[in-house]
A and B are shown apart, each in its own frame.
Chain A
């Protein structure tokens, strides 16, 4: 549990960070809150000869809510997400989900950018961002580009982001949908046995749109379009709910670990999804 030696860089602006990344290529990696990366380095599962600390880059921090759009800087901590009033009004699901991540100590350090860029299927923010249909902004040597959260994840720890790119911000539309983030875990500080994010909008007693995304039930976050579709047009009654859960379960592919075997995870996933839908509907 001792890292191997590394060079520590602490640029004060984005250009500086990009330069170090370009110079060292594969040998360099950015560090945000370090609460995923440092454990990997201590276990010597990640070998990072050049560590580029982003914490002095002021532009990467902060939350703005303007003209119907929420923009969150990559270096904004989970603690800040929880305590931002404007964000609570614009997307209360983030508050609910962030409170279920780890413990206060981890949340003081861990950032939203690190959480979504990491690519660990256990991270809660990626599924949430897919549910919100968020857009990630990546800045690299060739300029700036946008990638949809729903298209960002390829496999465990494999994302659309190129090695030389830095994720700078995350944006999505303000939402007043009914929401829920439901998570089952063994204890504080554990990743999900199963977790589900749901947003539902309602008009005249019917679902007009629904978005259902899941965490740690596959090697990538899973947005179940079929589950959403099964709810639209219904009054979220028992039959619709059952159809949505069945559809969602079609889209997941959990693996056995110390939390339990696949059969258990699928069963629990079904329960968690239906609870998330029910709670989101009750708030719609």
Chain B
């Protein structure tokens, strides 16, 4: 054929794996044409708004709704009493605890939901909220988990203090669980005998994912046909459907859950919130749709926080710096209810990845969860379950050990990395790392930034500072991280009993285009772009001709949703596997059309060709058409496939980051001069999307390390409930990021991909923090806690006598 395009052009046209295809979502997002929960307006819809507690701990003596009900336009005011007959005044949490939907006798954190006002519009609802009279009797407030474990004050009066909780025995009425991994006795013995031991305590402060779009839902109960439709900001719509069915008693086929466009999640939209439940109940009660959308302050004060881990570490090594053991204890502040979003068997998530990228022969981790008068949550903010905490812990312990050994921290890392030939590697705390090549990545990173040159420059700066010639010091932040993502194997990972598989269903249309539906839901990750690329390479249909659809439980196959960088490792794998089923059937059709045996044809980019005679072929377009218009003996018509993928293991992306920072010791102002990020996420699906994910994750890492926090005063008042005080960086604060990569495919993933959306956050936080701490190391600093805002940096300088 004369107009035949070259093979190379056919590959390019496909826009499959490795193509920096532009994001198909962006046309609508950049033009303001996204369709979010708050854009949904149904006929007759009412609006709900919460009366929230001004106190962190108080008894609710009475609630008077008369004045609110008297306001024109108010339809209902719900309190716990109204929900009780439906058994919906409390709801189960993802962590096996339960949480008040509306205050049942007392409130346990500031901003807690007390009553739900339903009115004709948002303005009337807000006015009515002010008219609900609640009488409180203040109770002693506990915001410190250590004090909580000593206190006589019982926070959770609903729990039997002697009965075990969801994760075993409780030591105190404010204690939630103890969770352990590894060998404590053995670890202690090694540490006691070691040449060198470094001990450190560190607080990973409480922060919040703060997506641009806050949480919300629209519930519509159609009483005529008994169907409930629930639109909401859900990172796991299918799980929400199952939970809604179990809670409400409405059969699951009568519930449709839809996650429309979601304006960022970062873990914040994994949990189930009282607002969702109240919008459903209000719709059932009123018989019309009810919308609830929280505002920014409500989002920051009451929806899922992240981190809040008090970590105590001991690390031992030989004189030469070979690590021999690691001991970690965490006191985890979970707030008023244990609403952590973790796989059921992992109440501290994957914190046991805290041996990091290092070959540590023995280790122990113990975690104690504690109740306090703070908002519930404990979600994975742009990380797999508690992985950010784990990586911060080990990357700080390495730095502290380097100080103890008087050794360069880059070298200390190098001599302790798990070696390439050790993979698959069994960690001391029970994980099987799938693949890695840490030394190559590290050497590449250090070379790229001229590490030795940087150290020289730093030494010169220290000397100049000591001579009084400058008031600016220089820090070199290092971090090497290993993530554990893609939860997870059904044998040990579930959420509320649902195994953490994921799914993809593909339909090829007669004219050769396709639609694929998945159990995940994009919140900005670009699934519509990248999943089409996976499929394009698998089935030979151009990515531009493939629609990706997610988020509607009536059409999408069941899946566990998007968080913990699991979409590509799990749903991406399901996509490839479903694609392979399509390809297998296509092969049979092609062989029939070419009148040869199935084994005589092979797949080539976008077609099947006869082996040895590639000029004789059938394109995927021709094959698709034949699937619908020819009677092929032994084959059903049509071309569809579905795959449910249970991953055999997690995937373990890794990376090497370096940050170069100047610090003005007089004002505490840091200035980032360079940030280099090397990521290895296995096979790279779309380099441009990867880069975007890395820029975003690093931006949030910068935020957390340098100022973003949820802080409380002693009365339990949230001091950071607006964006004036809660730090969301803008283009102004964010430095230029240099990105780089190596490629070490996952051996067990169908296309070798590992997931990348969270790596930069996980690796970035310790890198920024280490840069601050490294700047002060020559002046005697060992460890200071984040966030490194101006005054805390200034205080470090002040404590080290640098203002004298």
Contact = CB atoms under 8 A, between A and B. Distances in A.
B126 A2 contact: yes
A190 B724 contact: yes
A268 B730 contact: no
A279 B111 CA distance: 47
Interface residues of A, number: 24
A193 B790 contact: yes
A258 B719 contact: yes
A71 B719 CA distance: 41
Contacts of B790: 184, 186, 193, 259-260, 264, 268
Interface in A211-260: 258-260
B667 A260 contact: no
Which of A4, A258, A267 has the most chain B CB atoms inside 10 A of its CB? A258
A135 to B, nearest CB: 31
Contact of B730 (A2, A188, A191, A261): A188
B126 A187 contact: no
A121 to B, nearest CB: 14
A268 B711 CA distance: 23
B490 to A, nearest CB: 43
Given A189-B724, A260-B791, A264-B795, A1 B666 contact: no
A103 B720 contact: no
Contact of B732 (A187, A261, A268): A187
B213 interface: no
A264 B130 CA distance: 38
A2 B47 CA distance: 13
A267 B794 contact: yes
Contacts of A103: 730, 732
A67 interface: no
A103 B733 CA distance: 12
A182 to B, nearest CB: 10
A258 B798 CA distance: 18
A261 B669 contact: no
Interface string B713-756: 00000011001110101101100000000000000000000000
Interface string B664-705: 001111000000000000000000000000000000000000
B297 interface: yes
B123 interface: yes
A188 B732 contact: yes
B506 to A, nearest CB: 44
B791 A264 contact: yes
B794 A1 contact: no
Interface string A1-45: 111110000000000000000000000000000000000000010
Given A184-B790, A258-B725, A260-B791, A1 B732 contact: no
A267 B803 contact: yes
A261 B296 contact: no
B48 to A, nearest CB: 13
B222 interface: no
Contacts of A82: none
B700 to A, nearest CB: 14
Contacts of B791: 259-261, 264
A259 B803 CA distance: 19
Given A1-B296, A188-B733, A260 B794 contact: yes
A271 interface: yes
Contact of A2 (B122, B668, B719): B122
A4 B127 contact: yes
Nearest to B727: A187
B789 interface: yes
27 contacts: A1-B295, A2-B49, A2-B125, A2-B126, A4-B127, A5-B127, A44-B130, A186-B707, A186-B789, A186-B790, A187-B729, A188-B730, A188-B733, A189-B724, A189-B730, A190-B724, A259-B790, A260-B789, A260-B790, A260-B794, A261-B791, A264-B790, A264-B794, A267-B794, A268-B667, A268-B668, A272-B667
Interface of B: 49, 122-123, 125-127, 130, 295-297, 666-669, 707, 711, 719-720, 723-725, 727, 729-730, 732-733, 789-791, 794-795, 798, 803
**Top 6 closest A-B pairs, CB basis?**
A260-B791, A2-B126, A1-B295, A188-B732, A264-B791, A258-B725
